[in-house]
Amino acid sequence: MKNKKTILLIIFLLTISVVFIFLPHADARIVCTKTEKNNLKNKAYKTNLSYIFVTTEKGDHYFQIVIDNIPEGIEVRMGGSTLGKGSEKKKIVIDQYHSSGEEIVIDFYSEYGEACVGQKLYTKRLTLPKYNSYSEREECIEYEEFELCNKWYKGNIPDDEYFITKLNDYIYHRNEKNTREDPIDKQENNSNILTYVVVFVAVVATGVLAYQIKYRTKHRKIKKELSESNKDKIITDNDVNKNINPMVLNHNIGTNNNKHNNNNKNQK
């Protein structure tokens, strides 16, 4: 009988312990409604995930992974490790990240103390661009438009020999293309010069023609005015002659003749 009581007491104590240990979590999961979980997911969705490419004075390169706008009730994890909680800080920066071309996976969980405690809410992914170290080569200063000189070239450059070979091919084809395009450019230049000459001649010819028309018009006007002036003068002389008395005219003529004869006699 005593052993039974002891056993019952042990069972009771174990039951109480289990209840106290797991009751908070059980209660949280019980009250985690669909509406509450959706609200937490919406909070996690509004967080921002980005990167910053950094170049140091020594020429080193790395990325900074930035997670900000973290609301309360959200826990941020990466690779199973907790980076921070919204109740503690609103922004998390992962510094000195040197692995370019990789995918960053960030998981958001419900923070302890909230309704849906410990549940995964949302996942965000960020692909870092692949940095091309060949873009720093001296050859790329002159040929920066060359594909393999692009800072974020996505292809693979196995070694220096491959890079130099591709660069020489690019230079050769570019020069060949420029050589083929030279006659076309020359022809276009000649065509432009011919166009300018034609326009210039047309402008000069138009100016000369306008001047001649103006000059002839003015000359005709002056000639017409002179002609009308002479006509008026002739009419005036005729009118004067008409007004002279024939008797007076004959008398004057006879008088002049007598004077002339007298002068001749005196001379003799």
Q: What angle do CA 99, 103, 108 make, to 5 degrees?
A: 120
Partnered with residue 78 across adjacent β-strands are 81
Lowest mean pLDDT among 11-25, 146-160, 235-249: 235-249
Per-residue pLDDT tens for 71-95?
A: 999 999 999 899 999 989 999 999 9
Distance CA 258, CA 253 (A): 9
* Of 170-184, 217-231, 247-261, highest mean pLDDT: 170-184
Lowest mean pLDDT among 119-128, 131-140, 188-197: 188-197
Residue 179: what pLDDT? 76
Overall CATH class of domain 31-131 = mainly beta
Residue 213: what pLDDT? 76
Distance CA 144, CA 137 (A): 10
Per-residue pLDDT tens for 130-139?
A: 999 999 999 9
Residue 240: what pLDDT? 46
Give the pair of three-digit tokens for residue 225. 């005015």
Q: Which helix (H) or strand (E) segment is 78 a member of?
A: strand 74-78
The average pLDDT across 52-64 equals: 92
pLDDT surpassing 90 at residue 123? yes
Domain locations along the chain? 31-131, 132-268
Distance CA 6, CA 126 (A): 60
The residues, any chain, with a CB within 8 Å of residue 119's CB and separated by 6 or more, are: 32, 37, 109, 110
Partnered with residue 115 across adjacent β-strands are none
Distance CA 61, CA 54 (A): 6
Beta-carbon-side half-sphere exposure of residue 118 (alpha carbons within 13 Å): 6
Query: How many percent of the chain have pLDDT more than 90?
Result: 40
Per-residue pLDDT tens for 25-50?
A: 444 445 788 888 899 999 999 999 99
Lowest mean pLDDT among 1-10, 12-21, 240-249: 240-249
Residue 33: what pLDDT? 87
Residue 144's identity, in one-letter code, is: E
pLDDT surpassing 90 at residue 146? yes
pLDDT category of residue 217 using cuts at 50, 70 and 90:
confident
pLDDT category of residue 122 using cuts at 50, 70 and 90:
very high
pLDDT category of residue 209 using cuts at 50, 70 and 90:
confident
Residue 185: what pLDDT? 54
Q: Which helix (H) or strand (E) segment is 10 a member of?
A: helix 2-30
pLDDT surpassing 90 at residue 183? no
Asked if 174 and 145 touch (Cβ cutoff 8 Å), the reply is no
The average pLDDT across 175-182 equals: 73
Q: Calculate the CA 198 to chain-centre distance.
A: 37
Distance CA 17, CA 34 (A): 30
Residue 29: what pLDDT? 44
Distance CA 143, CA 150 (A): 10
Asked if 133 and 163 touch (Cβ cutoff 8 Å), the reply is no
Give the pair of three-digit tokens for residue 227. 């002609």
Asked if 140 and 167 touch (Cβ cutoff 8 Å), the reply is no
The Cβ of residue 198 has, within 10 Å, a number of other Cβ atoms equal to: 10
